[in-house]
Amino acid sequence: MIFSFWWLLLVPPVAAGAAELTAFTHVTVIPMDGERVIEDQTVLVEGDKIIAMGRTGTVPIPEGGRTVEGTGKFLIPGLSDMHAHIGSHARTEDSDRDKALAENQLLLYAATGVTLLRDPAGSPAHFEYRERLNEGDWIGPDLFFTSPIHEGADAVWEFSTKVTDPEAVEPLIAGYAGAGYQGVKIYHTLSRPVYDAMIDSANRHGLPVIGHVPFSVGIEYALASRQYSVEHLRGYDFDGVRPEALEVDGGRNAERFGSWMSMTEARMDELIEQTVATRTWNCPTLAVNRYLFDAEAREDIARHPDFPLVHPALRKRIVESERLDAIFSPASKAALRDALPRQQAFIARLARAGGNLLIGTDSIVSAYIPGFTPIDEMLAFAESGLGNYEVLRIATVSAAESMGIAERMGTVNVGKQANLVLLDADPLEDLHHLRSIDGVMIRGHWLPARELRERLESMAESWESG
């Protein structure tokens, strides 16, 4: 299925005003349009677009603009988090607190070089979040979001939309398309008849279906149905598991997660071949899997020096994340720990076969600090055996391709939207250098790292003063 992505027309443009003019000079550009590095460049940005690029001294710089000295620095496209939850995931009635939480999350993402976000569990509030970003009231990435989560009779989340009748699907999907949601989110408790109706209706309305593969469906059927994106490898991770085991603890048991250890090499190759053939996207959230079994790693988050810059409601959620220990038994956590190397092997082999991969974190669900963790996910990909350029391409070009916006985002080229990150060191040499941010440009607006830090500190002071 080839999606038209007609809903992109519903994304409001950046607010009109005097066009900013910025010139990055003497900078090394990593354009991500191929495995190349271009030294001593001037990149000229007017408004929200890159209008010129060439060797410094050959590109005329109009008067009245800003010059950013880039000697010894590296300019890359903005990063992405393609599985992030903005605002209160539980959709509480405290709308003011939810807005404050969302504003903080989005600013944290901007401060860490993330300029493109996909929230796979949207809500009516997300339209306001996006409007505030586009109007310049808030600072943060370009925000895309799907419908709310759809579950079956045995719903996991109380805030999800429960759908048990296939006849109820078409009005739902038509409503989402009309409202401007940018996809349909499904969960593993849907029945197969409802799943089929979701796929059919979403296809008619040009909306991609993303999420967990339902237990009643299985990965092969989901791939054959052209489910657009599989999140967390949910579907591959119960291949071959007894149906009865998936009925226990919502499938959060050692037998289910241990399926990775019983998957043969031949079966892994078979699933990879089918995934590549159907061009299905995968957003594995490898790094977050560690937090599901590693309580010590979660505790380390609260000791992070930037932890006070996180909204108090989210800090509380992170500190109290031992609820994860109640959901997953010791045997389940042991199986998750044992499965991680097999998941990494799957990702590496899928990448070598030409599969579609995305960087995503699942923040704020599993004790992640928003924005600080897409790099953790990228490092997990590198640990799986992918090269630094390949990982960086997934975080930039692939993200734009998956959203149907590669013609205007994802690379540093003339005509592209100016979503850029200026680094003090070469990320192709070491992905840890992605943390050495000198500044971020979002939709042509230059934000030095010190300014972003000051904004976050001012926000934190406002919480303390009530």
DSSP string, 97-152: HHHHHHHHHHHHHHHTTEEEEEESS--THHHHHHHHHHHTSS---EEEE-PPEEE-
The DSSP call for residue 310 is S
pLDDT average, residue stretch 353-371: 85
Q: Taking the chain, what is the end-to-end CA distance rounded to the nearest angstrom? A: 51
Region of residue 206 (left: phi > 0; alpha: psi -120 to 50; beta: else): left
**Given the DSSP bridges, would you call strands 66-69 and 21-29 parallel, antiparallel or unpaired?**
parallel
Measured CA distances, 95 to 91, 129, 138, 161 (Å): 8, 12, 16, 19
For residue range 230-250, list pLDDT tens digits in order: 999 999 999 999 988 888 887
Region of residue 415 (left: phi > 0; alpha: psi -120 to 50; beta: else): left
Among the listed residues 138, 67, 72, the one whose alpha carbon sits nearest the alpha carbon of residue 102: 138
| The pLDDT of residue 40 is above 60 | yes
Q: Give the distance between the most distant pair of CA atoms in the chain.
A: 71
- Return the minimum-mean-pLDDT range out of 110-119, 131-140, 192-201, 304-313: 304-313
- Cβ–Cβ under 8 Å, residues 173 and 148: no
Q: Using 50, 70 and 90 to split pLDDT, how confident is the model at 323? A: low
Measured CA distances, 120 to 81, 82, 231, 452 (Å): 11, 8, 9, 26
Domains, the chain, in order of start with CATH, read: 19-77+410-464 (2.30.40.10), 81-402 (3.20.20.140)
Peptide bond into 364 cis (omega under 30): yes
| The pLDDT of residue 372 is above 90 | no
Say how far apart CA 165 and CA 332 lie, in whole Å: 32
| The pLDDT of residue 22 is above 90 | yes
- 306 φ/ψ angles, rounded to the nearest 5 degrees: -95, 10
CB-facing half-sphere around the CA of 439: CA atoms within 13 A:
17
Measured CA distances, 284 to 362, 427, 465 (Å): 10, 22, 40
Q: pTM for this one?
A: 0.94
- Cβ–Cβ under 8 Å, residues 29 and 422: no
In angstroms and rounded to an integer, the radius of gyration of the C-alpha atoms of the chain is 22
Higher per-residue pLDDT: 427 or 330: 427
- Cβ–Cβ under 8 Å, residues 240 and 262: yes
| The pLDDT of residue 326 is above 90 | no
pLDDT average, residue stretch 40-63: 97
